[in-house]
Amino acid sequence: MKAHDGMYIDGAWRPAAGTDTIAVVNPADEQVIAHVPAGTAEDVDAAVRAARAAFPAWAATPPAERAALIAALRDALAARKDEIAATVTAELGAPPQAAQAIHAGLPVAVAGTYADLAATYGFEEEAGNSTVLLEPVGVVGAITPWNYPLHQIVAKVAPALAAGCTVVLKPAEDTPLTARHFAEAAHEAGLPAGVFNLVTGLGPVAGQALAEHPGVDMVSFTGSTAVGRRIGAVAGGAVKRVALELGGKSANVILPGADLAKAVAVGVANVMSNSGQTCSAWTRMLVHRDQYDEAVALAAQAVGKYVPGDRIGPLVNAKQQERVRGYIEQGVAEGARLVAGGPEAPLDKGYYVSPTVFADVTPAMTIAQEEIFGPVVSILAYEDEDDALRIANGTVYGLAGAVWAADDETAVAFARRMETGQVDINGGRFNPLAPFGGYKQSGVGRELGAHGLAEYLQTKSLQF
């Protein structure tokens, strides 16, 4: 047993209260690579107590000092980049290049934005005869998914710490080893004991105990809409602050006049990235009727680059693989036309799914409505711009999207009418300072940048 096998609570690694463990599996070869403790309500309680005890001093720490500690955390993550990338490859199955650039690299950048924001944010405002103080909400229970194991943690913990909150993290059961690297980095950065705590465990046990704990003032959750609904209900019942980052079914809208080949290639790459396990993926490609056949041919060609086991990794576990293959079978059954891929597993070992492109998809089909969370693109035809808008907005989700047009002005005019939290204009780049979050059932609240920090603050007005 290594020194850090256990829970990170109150500034130290401690044995779990119980003896149950969770096996961590490498999804590329189905081998068990580690075991972590399955935390219970008892572990959660110890962690929440530590976070509560640490809260008053951390909240009173000058923002510049909090900023310096977040900068140290960023540096500790950067120093572990290779180790983190290797761990994400082992427990998520991400190809090494993506593990380095995205899974290990992006969180360093995001932590850096919060080191800057903590130092510069206006924690006090004037309004008429009032001074408005922006104060931390308190103890945050953070519950994260496996798809971007470290990014999802940093996108919650860094702004919470910047705001002056203390945190208890329950990471996904499939990717707890990356969370341990984060805890080690937090320790090395010198965060005071109890400011950050880690409890590994199962969602319905440790996750639920955390969401329900009366010592938790706010729950920040990223994951499925089904679990998000339950957490929202629990938080609502206890009148706790809640932030929910849920699923998506985003549209990649290609208007006439756009660079079709580029829009299709970037659109396919967007969905194949991380094996399709990205909540903001543009899983519906919308193409004008006159360009439809050409777009389908381009997409079938573009997807050929994604060779399973090389450019594209497996899905995270057998359950997700089965789920995604089930959606592909359903697409065929409902009359969509397979132009690449299909339900058969492409390799004998590992939880791989064939990169799949569907044509002749209509808006009412299951594969055009539900989040698949796998490497599956659906191409839909539209008649005119209003039709494209109806299709783009025609799901319960509203997390992200893309618009391609002859010029930015045309694309922006369309984007303004979309019911969604983010839109990339003519291939605009990801921005770690841009607020990220959902319209409609894609969630409540925003992550990243100054808006992500504001989620963890509450106001106190002083009248003079």
Catalytic residues: 245
d(CA 208, CA 300): 43
Distance CA 236, CA 241 (A): 8
Among 58, 114, 373, 382, binds ligand NAP (CB under 6 A): 373
Rounded to a whole number of angstroms, the minimum distance from the CB of residue 396 to ligand NAP is 13
Residue 45 to residue 199: CA distance in whole angstroms: 10
Residue placing its CB nearer to ligand NAP in the complex, 103 or 170: 170
258: amino acid identity, one letter: A
Of the listed pieces 52-60, 71-79, 140-148, 420-428, which binds ligand NAP according to CB under 6 A?
Answer: 140-148
How big is the site for ligand NAP, counted in residues (CB under 6 A)? 27
**Does residue 236 interact with ligand NAP by CB under 6 A?**
no
- Give the distance from CA 167 to its chain's centroid: 18
Q: Which stretch binds ligand NAP (CB under 6 A): 67-75, 129-137, 168-176, 190-198?
A: 168-176
* Nearer to ligand NAP (CB atom), residue 112 or residue 171: 171
**Residue among 143 and 265 whose Cβ is closer to ligand NAP:** 143
Residue of the chain from 16, 169, 244, 279 that contacts ligand NAP (CB under 6 A):
279
Q: Which of 143, 161, 186, 216 binds ligand NAP (CB under 6 A)?
A: 143
Structure tokens at 429: 């780049």
Q: Smallest gap, in angstroms, from Cβ of residue 90 to ligand NAP?
A: 17
Interaction of residue 371 with ligand NAP, rule CB under 6 A: yes
Residues 6+ apart with CB under 8 A from 166: 51, 52, 54, 55, 58, 138, 139, 140, 160, 194, 195, 196, 197
Q: List the interface residues with ligand NAP, window 170-229 (CB under 6 A).
A: 170, 172-174, 202-204, 207-208, 211, 222-224, 227
Query: Min. distance of Cβ 72 from ligand NAP in angstroms?
Result: 27
* Dist CA 183 CA 7 (whole Å): 9
Compare residues 145 and 267 and give the one whose CB is closer to ligand NAP: 145
Sign of torsion over alpha carbons 81, 435, 276, 35 = positive
Q: Which of 4, 230, 262, 440 binds ligand NAP (CB under 6 A)?
A: 230
Residue facing ligand NAP at closest CB distance: 203
> By C-beta, is 24 or 312 nearer to ligand NAP?
24
Residue 91 beta carbon to ligand NAP: minimum distance, rounded to whole angstroms: 12
Taking residue 106's Cβ as centre, other Cβ atoms within 10 Å add up to 17
CB 360 → ligand NAP: shortest distance, Å? 24
Q: Which of residues 309-348 bind ligand NAP (CB under 6 A)?
A: 320
By CB under 6 A, residue 447 contacts ligand NAP: no
Of 245 and 455, which CB lies nearer to ligand NAP in the complex structure? 245
Q: How far is 171 from 433, CA to CA, in rounded Å?
A: 23
- Closest distance to ligand NAP from the beta carbon of 398 (Å): 13
By CB under 6 A, name the binding residues for ligand NAP: 143-145, 147, 170, 172-174, 202-204, 207-208, 211, 222-224, 227, 230-231, 245-247, 279, 320, 371, 373
